[in-house]
Amino acid sequence: MKLFSSVHDVPDIAALVKEALHLKQFPYAYKDLGENKTMALVFLNPSLRTRMSTQKAALNLGMNVMVLNMDKEGWALELRDNVIMNGNTVEHIREAAAVMGQYADIIGVRSFPGLKDRKEDYSEMIFNKFVQFCGVPVVSLESATRHPLQSLADLVTIEELKTRSKPKVVLTWAPHIKPLPQAVPNSFAEWMCRADVDFTITHPKGYELCSDFTQGAKITNNQDEALADADFIYVKNWSAYEPYGKILPGNEDWMLTNEKLKITNNAKIMHCLPVRRNLELSDEILDGESSIVVHEAANRVWAAQAVLKRMLESLS
């Protein structure tokens, strides 16, 4: 594997999930695979789980790891071509990515969408420029439109905890005060649509995701109907795709409560974190029996380790 940017880079999803669960059992089985190989983790936006779990995954494989928080420590990057750089940007992505590729064998990149220009965000301009100019394999640590390491960990978690062969999985929109990216729900949807699950998306009118990511999903604006008989409920806020990056008024009643869970099949509650308590998810759910958010976050290590293992195996 030379690129991990979406589910489309994975020829056999079930095999990758199996690999992750195997690594969970035997974390150090490949501790020499990454000997003398260096991983660079480059963040253009904040991170807790992605940074620590991917670093841990690389260390478990015997790699050296360098972390660069570009947003806080790096030079301001210029992304546009053919511009006179007489403003605030100091270094062009062409040189920056090319230089990083000289120091690292694998690069991980996080870059959130601007949520202003849909065409630019959905073209994955920043992520693709890193891929184009760094010259080494690249792992997405969440890009403008996707968060594939998160989605893989989510699928690993569902596979591990399911109590019936084809569980009902529901992605439900939750309220927030800030416009958030569509990356996590887009990515979750495109992985679930290819997994052996019964998948439903529910959101208020106006929060339709881009249909490229939701082919094959059931979609409803009726949250109760979606939650009925659910085995896993994936809670996430996202801003509107149209009008792009906007928050629509109302919908505060979309926050999950224990009352709403009564109609589910004893559903387990998932969230990629960070979660804003009592806005996106209630205390009673996060502190209760049904929440598996910490377990889900723990699985980020094994998802990342499975991907990095595949990448190391493909390095010549």
With CB under 6 A as the rule, give the number of residues binding ligand SN0. Answer: 9
**Residue 272 touches ligand SN0, criterion: CB under 6 A:** yes
Question: Helices 148-161 and 300-314 meet at what angle, rounded to 10?
Answer: 120
Stretch that binds ligand SN0, among 2-10, 28-36, 174-182, 291-299 (CB under 6 A): 174-182
Which of 243, 274 has the CB closer to ligand SN0?
Answer: 274
Q: Which amino acid is present at 12?
A: D
**Dist CA 56 CA 60 (whole Å):** 6
Asked whether position 303 contacts ligand SN0 by CB under 6 A, the answer is no
User: Would residue 165 be called left, alpha or beta, if left means φ above 0 and alpha means ψ between -120 and 50 degrees?
Assistant: alpha
Query: Which candidate, 268, 60, 256, 236, places its Cα nearest to that of 159?
Result: 268
| Angstrom distance (rounded) from CA 26 to CA 45 | 32
> Do 167 and 157 contact (CB within 8 A), yes or no?
no
Interface with ligand SN0 (CB under 6 A), residue from 61, 180, 230, 308:
180
- For residues 95-154, which are near ligand SN0 according to CB under 6 A? 142
| Min separation Cβ 85 and ligand SN0, Å | 29
Instruction: Give the range of 102-110, 133-141, 176-184, 214-222 binding ligand SN0 by CB under 6 A.
Output: 176-184
Stretch that binds ligand SN0, among 30-38, 66-74, 175-183, 225-233 (CB under 6 A): 175-183
Q: Does 183 bind ligand SN0 (CB under 6 A)?
A: yes
Kindly state the smallest distance separating residue 198's Cβ from ligand SN0, in Å. 25
One residue of 8, 80, 246, 276 binding ligand SN0 per CB under 6 A: 276
Q: Which two tokens stand for residue 285?
A: 């759910």
**236 is written with which tokens?**
């996430």
Half-sphere exposure of 202 (CA within 13 A, CB side): 23
Task: Closer to ligand SN0 by CB, 250 or 274: give it.
Answer: 274
Per CB under 6 A, 245 contacts ligand SN0? no
Strands (DSSP E) found in 31-167: 38-43, 64-69, 77-78, 91-92, 106-110, 138-140
Binding range to ligand SN0, per CB under 6 A, among 36-44, 88-96, 177-185, 258-266: 177-185
Least distance (Å) from ligand SN0 to the CB of residue 137?
22
**Which is closer to ligand SN0, CB of 167 or CB of 181?**
181
Burial label, 181 (beta-carbon count in 10 A; 0-12, 13-18, 19+): buried
Part of the chain binding ligand SN0 (CB under 6 A), chosen from 13-21, 97-105, 203-211, 272-280? 272-280
Residue 290 C-alpha from the chain's centroid: 22
Sorted by sequence, the CB contacts under 8 Å of residue 119 that are 6+ apart come out as none
From the number of C-beta atoms within 10 Å of its C-beta (0-12, 13-18, 19+), residue 221 rates as middle
Which one of residues 274, 288, 295, 314 is an interface residue with ligand SN0 (CB under 6 A)? 274
The answer to whether residue 181 forms part of the interface with ligand SN0 (CB under 6 A) is yes
Query: For binding to ligand SN0 (CB under 6 A), which residues are involved?
Result: 142, 178, 180-181, 183-184, 272, 274, 276
